[in-house]
Amino acid sequence: MANEVWVIAEQRDGKLKKVSFEILSCARKIADKLKVQLGAILLGDKVECLANVLGYYGTDKVFLCDSEILKNYSNEGYSQVIADFVKEHKPKILLGPSTAMGKDLLPRVAAKLGTGLASDCITLDIDSNGNLLLKRPIYAGKVIVDVFIDSSPQMASIRPNVLVMASPDESRRTEIIKSEVRISTEGIRAKVKEIVKSAGEKVDLTEAKVIVSGGRAMKGSENFKILEELACSFGEGATVGASRAAVDSGFAPHDMQVGQTGKVVNPEVYIACGISGAIQHLAGMQTSKCIIAINKDPEAPIFQKANYGIVGDLFQIVPLLAQEIKKTKAGN
């Protein structure tokens, strides 16, 4: 087992995150090149039904730890369980998602294993010696660097929406290896008492295909309704974000913030409405596949990064854009 490739699969509320499938799809190719098996680690409560789904995306085996103790995410509990798995089976490569949970969890796992971690990577491959080859942005995304890992196991976290997800093969079966939880509730010092969800079910910004973001020029939280209408016109997989200026002004909650101090996103389409393009905001969205900027100021820095730019009043342009997208979709 010492040369296997493993992926930490992230689930929330009994649903696997899309980024887990993206990493598994790429990890399957790496495992084939190395001629080794691909494993996945799945933690949670009553999540055994998800193990077979991981198999659809290429896993040969799933290490399952299903316990009520792991119902709510805990960095202490989860990191210890994963570290125990890795110490016992010694995989060569350990990958995980660079999500909010992953950014909290993976450094702890690396510390427990005494290894390094290449975080927030945007490409994933191996060299002729079977070592990971990675690229990751630094200096707020101004520079992309090559990363080589010489510690064991080789660990990396992967940014959502940067890898191509394979089509699931539902005929594929995977081996499920169950393990008992070796920690107790007393061993977890920080305990989750209650989870309060925001109203409505929104697409996670980090996994959205289309993001419509508003800046300080939105003038108030009530005006974000026109952004929501534009996002809805795209259909499933679209959501609304905000700049730090909009969040600091009280127009939107922090969980909608895109940027270096918010969430790093990589949608297929990013529409920046009334956002000037400050460095910290660009750091969170400049790897989007297509950037559309709407701003009154023709000299706004956002236009330097945009694929398409519209100079004008967003309150006039956004509703018209939503109407045209609806007409186009209806015509198809």
- State CA 225 to chain mean position distance: 25
Predicted confidence (pLDDT) at residue 200 exceeds the cutoff of 60: no
CA distance 182 to 217: 52
Burial of 51: CB neighbours in 10 Å, binned 0-12, 13-18, 19+: buried
CA distance 66 to 47: 6
Provide the pLDDT for residue 199: 54
Reported as a pLDDT band with limits 50, 70 and 90, residue 74 is: confident
User: 5-187 and 205-331: same fold?
Assistant: yes
What percent of the chain stands above pLDDT 70? 97
Provide the pLDDT for residue 13: 85
**DSSP code string of 196-243:** -PPSS----GGG-SEEEEE-GGG-SGGGHHHHHHHHHHH-TTEEEEE-
Interval 285-329: pLDDT, tens: 998 999 999 999 999 999 999 999 999 999 999 999 999 999 998
| CB contact set of 194 (below 8 Å; sequence gap of 6+) | none
The CA-based angle 119-285-132, given to 5 degrees, is 25
Query: What is the rounded average pLDDT of the residues 137-163?
Result: 89
Burial of 94: CB neighbours in 10 Å, binned 0-12, 13-18, 19+: buried
Provide the pLDDT for residue 96: 97
**What are the structure tokens assigned to 270, written together?**
């990013």
- For the chain, how big is the Rg over CA atoms in Å? 21
Domain edges within the chain: 5-187, 205-331
CA distance 176 to 116: 28
| CB contact set of 69 (below 8 Å; sequence gap of 6+) | 45, 77, 181, 183, 184, 185, 188
Helix (H, G, I), strand (E, B) or coil at 312: coil
CA distance 58 to 61: 9
The topology (CATH level 3) of 205-331 is Rossmann fold (3.40.50)
What percent of the chain stands above pLDDT 90? 75
Predicted confidence (pLDDT) at residue 257 exceeds the cutoff of 90: yes
Interval 4-29: pLDDT, tens: 999 999 998 889 999 999 999 999 99
For the chain, the average pLDDT equals: 91
The topology (CATH level 3) of 5-187 is Rossmann fold (3.40.50)
Interval 101-132: pLDDT, tens: 999 999 999 999 999 999 999 999 998 888 89
Query: What is the rounded average pLDDT of the residues 67-94?
Result: 91
Give the predicted TM-score (pTM) of the model: 0.85
Helix (H, G, I), strand (E, B) or coil at 296: coil
Predicted confidence (pLDDT) at residue 150 exceeds the cutoff of 90: no
